[in-house]
Structure 1
């Protein structure tokens, strides 16, 4: 996790308080034959623990570049690296994955036997977040071609 050093959240997390991070991906609506059995498909995770502060600016730079590489491989070699002032102003916290819980809901429609003959469509209305085409910055130099980050990102995460 990263943010401004003077952020109230970052200051609180740096104190070593136990905390819980939650992440949820919504995958779609389950549309059943009865109102009661409508639900959602999702994937969620909770991570419990305490954050540790990354103090070294060299380590911060390495980890921030690793983050960039997960989004756009090769990009960290092309952009200006954070300078000492920027890295010093940035709080970088890490939480060991020692206690976590994951829940996945991906079952089909859970209709009861008494509802199977109701003449209404039942199934899943999927929801997808997609990686779209790049959008140039308004000050983009048109002589610099767009990289292929959209397809590379999609291939890495959606195989």
Structure 2
């Protein structure tokens, strides 16, 4: 290509002549055959342009939810939503008197602050399950187990004396 350039050209004239020679050489060459991998790919990569594309920057929430779906974390994350959104799911009054403790295999254990509230929650169990399913999705919570308040434990340390403990000294 360089041997075809005219003598005595300098600067921009030399650049134009080199460009013209390169274009002529490109026209005279045979087109290269596409490999089978390129043919099978089918779609040629282009710039994304004005429309949305997978190569464009994505919102972080969308990327995290896609990663959770790919790795099978969706069930654990939706179970965590029960704890995070508890007041919105069951209402402010119920959330004030009861709190979720554990969620395992679709069974949510809820601890009430009194036996009266535990009874009330057992009566409202069907409505609470519907509200939770509406808020976080179906089949996240399948059963609801309501516990009342726990009694104090008087056994401290590895050794203890048999009997009722300090209650038997009250008269």
TM-score class normalised by the smaller sequence: under 0.3
Name the larger-Rg structure: 2
Q: From the two aligned structures, give the one with the greater helix fraction.
A: 2
Higher relative contact order (CA 8 A, sep 6+): 1
TM-score normalised to structure 1 length: 0.22
Q: From the two aligned structures, give the one with the greater strand fraction.
A: 1
TM-score normalised to structure 2 length: 0.21
